[in-house]
Chain A
Amino acid sequence: MIELLKIDLKKLTSYRTFWVVCGLYFVTLGFGAASGMEALKWLARTFEDFGEELNIDRIPLYHFPDVWTNLIWLGGFLKVVLGIMVVISVTNEFAYRTVRQNVIDGMSRFEFLLSKILTNVLLALMSVAMIFVIGLVTGMIYSPSIEWSKVVTDLEFFPAYFLEIFFFLSYALMLGVLIQRSGLTIILLLLSKMIEMIILANIDDHLPWIVQFFPMQSIWDLIAWPFPRYAFQEIQDYVSPLTVFIVAAWTFIFNYVSYWKLKKADI
């Protein structure tokens, strides 16, 4: 297993595009997550221009445990950058025909796919670690008092965040394996959410219960939008087991489809 991960990382770590895209992802994730206070200050200044007053200290953006869900929810938007990287990584193998040579050299098709899936796991874990560290540091700085019971609250959102990223990278990998051309795959990846929304708009009046089973909707439901709570609204402050099950099932289906396609294709 480790050997397979090493093989895929060896392919990527000398590839400049990989460093550029991953660098952009982690830098944006880091700065984006850490600059929430600046965003609030800007908001306060804008309010002042209109003669209103906004007390930013009353918005506990970085207080434990709010910081976890706030950062995880925001971090979810950047997963598309990693998704594009995964698409490039797998479609390159088809464009250069190196997948063929890898198999000739003695990899099984399953091992080839597994090496890509393991890289996806690693990227998802790194995203989780990044958000965790930033959350921990900013939480320590901005929380008025550190109460451990609050620090450990809502930590179940981290496995959910991992699942969200891994789901999306598995989806990107599957599209890459099915389409094999980078441009088309990336466009489809970017449009997936929109295409699904159009489909849902047409059926949710007739079959409202089915909406939650759609793939993009399922990761949307996994980690609920946290900010309405600052407008004194109820939010879903837990991870729904049914949604976890739906997301996990889709993730399995995506990876299985990749396997099935690789298995039966002449490469």
Chain B
Amino acid sequence: MMAVIDAHASRLMDVNSKAVTDAVLSIQELTKHFGRIRAVNNLNMEVHRGQVFGMLGPNGSGKTTTLGMLMGVVNPTSGGFNWFGEDPTPEVRRKIGAVLEHPIFYPYLSGQKNLELNAMIKKCPAENIPKVLEIVELTERRNDKYRTYSLGMKQRLAIASALLNNPTVLILDEPTNGLDPMGIAEIRGLIKKIAEDGKTIILASHLLDEVQKVCTHFCVLKKGNLVHTGPVHDVGRGAEIVEVGAEADNLDSLLVDFSGTSSLVKENHHFQVTLKEGFQSKDLNRFLFEKGVVANHLVTQKKSLEKMFLEILSESEKS
């Protein structure tokens, strides 16, 4: 798990160094009203090449509406967006592979025939079909009718279809929705595999830990407003919290004495130390050791995306 985040972090560095001019998608003041409801409100955002960009938000926060506008099925009320610096046209959409909401195929056609049809629409050679079926491991079931597929297979066929044209950008909307834990793991593995090929991925989800596991950047939408955008990497930064336990009676006073302690809470048998900026758990460990105390419990807690997400939402509530 840590290794994954680190891998992403290093990817992130590569990305950031050349990101500035590399906008795959830029959105300007995009707005959509459904009658009185403002589904999306003045959205400004950029996604750069190579990012795995997570869109977070509670249900009904405007994620799918935004993606629908980006893919030409929902007409914006005002504002606009560019793909690869170009105006959105059907030709540009063919460079993007997208699965919105849930997989959509002709139920009476086989997986193979559905993909053949999509290849014709995307104007790409049908020779790509065996390859994408292989990636999503549906080769064996390709001649069965789509309606006989399980939900996980439907999701995988949708990803296969999105990959058909070898797109540079992939849009996935709740790709693990309704799947069992094994299906979720499969789809996640698939997304990571695709991301390693250098594709830009936009992933809408309300599953925070999913975004934290696979994304490099994320934004948070709430009631159609953008309330946060930034790298996932930053989530772990800031004040570190360390849980400490040791067989020493004066542990609490020692911890208060430590120059890196910003606050101290006793919780069950352990102390929770919130460290000041610039201090890390190893500094605390060294300090205790020098005072002749050996910690038998030392756990560093990184702030989870979930915690941050809830903070962002409650902050936006106040303002």
Which A residues are closer than 8 A to B by beta carbons?
A: 3, 6-7, 10-11, 14-16, 96-98, 100-108, 111, 264, 266-267
Q: How far is the CB of B282 from chain A (nearest CB, A)?
A: 50
Query: What's the Cα separation between A3 and B123 when bound, in Å?
Result: 9
| Closest chain A residue to B109, Cβ basis | A14
Q: Which residue of A lies closest to B119 (CB)?
A: A105
Residues 91-128 of B, flagged 1 when their CB comes within 8 A of A and 0 if not, give: 10110001010001111111001001110111100000
Question: Once bound together, how far apart are the Cα atoms of A14 and B105, in whole Å?
Answer: 13
Tell me which residues across on chain A come within 8 A of B104, comparing CB atoms.
96-98, 100-101
Contacts of A107 in B (CB 8 A): 90, 121
Given A14-B108, A104-B93: 5 more A-B contacts, CB < 8 Å = A7-B121, A11-B117, A101-B105, A104-B73, A106-B93
- Report how far A267 CA is from B100 CA in the complex, Å: 12
Given the known interface contacts A10-B113, A11-B106, A96-B106, the answer about A103 and B73 at a Cβ–Cβ threshold of 8 Å is yes
Closest to A101 in B: B104
9 interchain residue pairs of minimum CB distance = A106-B94, A101-B104, A108-B90, A104-B71, A106-B93, A266-B74, A105-B121, A267-B73, A97-B104
A15 to B145, CA, bound (A): 11
5 A–B pairs (Cβ distance < 8 Å), ordered by A = A103-B90, A106-B94, A107-B90, A264-B75, A266-B73
Contact B90 A106 (CB under 8 A): yes
Interchain pairs with CB closer than 8 A, number: 72
Q: Does B72 contact A (CB under 8 A)?
A: yes
A-contacting residues, B70-92, CB 8 Å: 71-75, 89-91
Query: What is the CA–CA distance of A11 and B113 in the complex, to the nearest angstrom?
Result: 9
Contacts of B113 in A (CB 8 A): 10, 14
- Distance of B76 from chain A, by nearest CB (Å): 10
Give chain A residues whose Cβ lies under 8 Å from the Cβ of B100: 100, 104
B68 at the interface (CB under 8 A from A): yes
A263 to chain B, nearest CB (A): 8
Nearest chain A CB to B181 CB, angstrom units: 28
**Complex-state Cα separation, A97 to B101, whole angstroms:** 11
* B binding-site residues for A, Cβ under 8 Å: 68, 71-75, 89-91, 93-94, 98, 100, 104-110, 113, 116-118, 120-123, 161
Contact yes or no, B108 A10, CB < 8 A: no
Q: Whose C-beta in chain A lies nearest to the C-beta of B103?
A: A101
Q: Is the CB of B122 within 8 A of A266?
A: no
Return chain B residues, CB-CB under 8 Å to A3.
120, 123
In the complex, what residues of A have CB within 8 A of residue B75's CB? 264, 266
What is the distance, in angstroms, from B203's C-beta to the closest C-beta of chain A? 16
Bound: A111/B107 CA distance, A: 22
Contacts of A11 in B (CB 8 A): 106, 109, 117
- Closest Cβ of chain B: how far from A110's Cβ, in Å? 9
B117 touches A96 (CB 8 A): no
**Other-chain contact of B94, A98, A100, A105, A267 (Cβ < 8 Å):** A105
Closest to B69 in A: A266
> Inside 8 A of B118's CB, which chain A residues have their CB?
105
Q: Which residue of A lies closest to B123 (CB)?
A: A106
Q: How far is the CB of A48 from chain B (nearest CB, A)?
A: 52
Q: Which residues of B contact A98 (CB under 8 A)?
A: 104-106
On whether the beta carbons of A10 and B73 are closer than 8 Å, the reply is: no
B91 touches A106 (CB 8 A): yes
- In the complex, A51 Cα to B53 Cα: how many Å? 89
Given contacts A14-B113, A267-B73, contact A102 B121 (CB under 8 A): yes
Determine if B121 and A106 form an interchain contact, defined as CB atoms under 8 angstroms apart. Answer: yes
Closest to A115 in B: B121
Q: Using Cβ atoms and an 8 Å threshold, which residues of chain A touch B94?
A: 105-106
Bound-state Cα–Cα, A174 to B123, Å: 27
Contact indicator B120/A6 (Cβ below 8 Å) = yes
Residues of A within 8 A of B71 (CB): 103-104
- Closest residue to A92 on the B side, CB-wise? B106
* B161 partner residues in chain A, CB cutoff 8 A: 105
| Chain B residue nearest to A100 in the complex (CB) | B73
Asked whether, in the complex, the Cβ of A10 is within 8 Å of the Cβ of B117, the reply is yes
Please name all residues of chain A whose beta carbon is closer than 8 Å to the beta carbon of B105 when the two chains form the complex: 96, 98, 101
The CA-CA distance from A137 to B121 in the complex, in Å, is: 41
In whole angstroms, what is the CA distance A14 to B108 when docked? 7
Hey, which chain A residues are within 8 Å of B107, CB to CB?
96
The answer on a CB contact under 8 Å between A16 and B121 is: no
**Residues of B contacting A96 with CB < 8 Å?**
104-107
The residues of B that contact A266 with a CB separation of less than 8 Å are: 68, 73-75
With the chains together, A108 CA to B161 CA distance in Å? 18
B120 to A, closest residue via Cβ: A7
Cα–Cα distance between A101 and B118 once the two chains are bound (Å): 9
* Most chain A beta-carbon contacts within 10 A, residue among B93, B104, B109, B110: B104
